[in-house]
Structure 1
């Protein structure tokens, strides 16, 4: 699964979590890792508790473009408060989150096809769309990290 490979890559950058490259972004590598992991964890938790009978697909142009191209432009959206860490980001906190996520994403495949979460810009995403979004979003932050470190 792509997401598992991406999580392993995020994990590989933990030793460099304090690095900053202001030419790319003002956040640290650790912030990028933490944010990516929080999104994966939050989306998977929301899908798990969602009611598949309440899923209703609606056309959304922004969703169509991003889900089709697999590209999220940089600096266009601000991370919602729920996926921003207001506490100090430590190696221990990131490693704890990685372990929680490894357990959580195994549950994704067992969910109903209409398990869903509400994206702040795209609306409701079903299981297939949500997994695609997580891959795109995580890939976006991995590209930022790679650019920061090069």
Structure 2
């Protein structure tokens, strides 16, 4: 998938989050669902935080402050990036990511989504020119270059869209 396509799909996925915010009240946004797991608020906190961390990884690749790695990711990671989905089953977030998840307000989520969109738009032209040998380590996927980090952001953001759907379904 092209960098342009990944960026456009990521922006579209983030638009889903923006639009969904308009449909839920503050109490429902922060309430832990009966099925357990994260509230909408915590999902938003996670996806926004993880995407900002990914943007930092992209910036390190672009600024050439990441490591130089010649090897491609292993076949499992390349398959995830190619197919655009994580393998089936629940994946526990790394401890550092889990620790950063908190309940945020709808307004905080909205403001952070606006900042995230601007960040993605500003990085996009640079990613197209990036050196693929500069890579920053993902906690589970290993060393990724700037374009692969953008692809990860898309896959991860879409993955949690499904979680929003499951939470919504649990209320019906």
> Alpha-carbon deviation of 1:55?
3.4
Query: Which residue number corresponds to residue 93 of structure 2?
Result: 78
Query: Which residue number corresponds to residue 2 of structure 1?
Result: 9
Q: 1:130 aligns with which of 122, 143, 149?
A: 149
**Cα offsets for 1:31-51 (capped at 9, x unmatched):** 112211111111112211331
Say whether residues 1:98 and 2:110 are aligned partners: no
Three-state SS of the structure 2 residue aligned to 1:100 is: helix
Q: Structure 1 stretch 137-146 or stretch 81-90: which is displaced more? A: 81-90
Query: Which residue number corresponds to residue 55 of structure 2?
Result: 44
TM-score by length of 2: 0.73
Please say which structure displays the higher CA radius of gyration.
2
In structure 2, C-alpha distance between the alignment counterparts of 1:125 and 1:134, rounded to whole Å:
12
TM-score by length of 1: 0.82
Say whether residues 1:142 and 2:154 are aligned partners: no
Decide whether the 8 Å contact of 1:40 with 1:134 is kept in 2: yes
Runs (5+) with no aligned partner, structure 1: none
Decide whether the 8 Å contact of 2:46 with 2:97 is kept in 1: no
In structure 2, C-alpha distance between the alignment counterparts of 1:148 and 1:53, rounded to whole Å:
37
In structure 1, C-alpha distance between the alignment counterparts of 2:59 and 2:116, rounded to whole Å:
13
Say whether residues 1:26 and 2:24 are aligned partners: no
Q: 1:117 aligns with which of 124, 136, 160?
A: 136
Q: Name the CA shift for 1:26/1:82 in 2 (closer, same or farther; >3 Å).
A: closer
Q: Name the CA shift for 1:80/1:108 in 2 (closer, same or farther; >3 Å).
A: farther
Query: Which residue number corresponds to residue 79 of structure 2?
Result: 65
Query: Which residue number corresponds to residue 55 of structure 1?
Result: 68
Q: Name the CA shift for 1:22/1:106 in 2 (closer, same or farther; >3 Å).
A: same
Three-state SS of the structure 2 residue aligned to 1:75 is: coil
Aligned length: 149
Decide whether the 8 Å contact of 1:116 with 1:126 is kept in 2: yes
Q: Supply the RMSD in Å over aligned alpha carbons.
A: 2.4
